[in-house]
Amino acid sequence: MSKNMKEVIEKGNAFACIQCGRCTGSCPAGRECSMRTRKIVHLAKMGEDVFAIPELWECTTCFTCQERCPKEVKTTDMIIELRNISVERNYFPSMAGVPRIIIKNLYDTGSGQPLSPEVAKMRSIIGLAKDPCDVSRDEKDLKAFQRLLDSLPLMRGVAK
């Protein structure tokens, strides 16, 4: 987990980048928006605060760019690490809404997508346990899980 741009560049092997553009050429998101993978790597190498740019959040982490990079630059891994720094420094823009709800759900129920009563009913109709085996089934497990989450940086900034 990189704490600063220097670590991100080193871990991501960004120094090897020759700006060939194969990453952007492979990017399925880049065809539909203004994110340019290659530019992100270049800005990082130049020492810019890339974690502050909104396009950083348009990557679906499909890994095609990292797969095809001829210099073995870890493009997708770098984007994820940059997002971590962004969150830590409170830069994340449009992700304010729904993703935070997912983390809150994770804390409250142990699942990012919790089980609704309707779906619980559907489960029993098709022959599955209404109350599935997961961390929320036993109160003790869920409480332990929440204690674990309390000790982690993830919950920072998410109202409980």
**Smallest distance, other proteins to C-beta of residue 123, A:** 5
Residues 6 or more apart whose CB falls under 8 angstroms from that of 101 comprise none
Closer to other proteins at the Cβ: 97 or 159? Answer: 97
**Smallest distance, other proteins to C-beta of residue 140, A:** 10
d(CA 56, CA 40): 8
**Smallest distance, other proteins to C-beta of residue 47, A:** 20
- Asked whether 41 and 23 are in contact (CB, 8 A), the reply is yes
Residues 6 or more apart whose CB falls under 8 angstroms from that of 81 comprise 1, 2, 7, 8, 11, 12
How many CA atoms within 13 Å lie on the side-chain side of 101?
A: 4
Closer to other proteins at the Cβ: 6 or 121? Answer: 121
d(CA 16, CA 47): 15
Closer to other proteins at the Cβ: 49 or 63? Answer: 63
**Smallest distance, other proteins to C-beta of residue 54, A:** 9
**CA-based end-to-end distance of the chain:** 25
Closer to other proteins at the Cβ: 6 or 20? Answer: 20
**Smallest distance, other proteins to C-beta of residue 116, A:** 8
Closer to other proteins at the Cβ: 48 or 110? Answer: 110
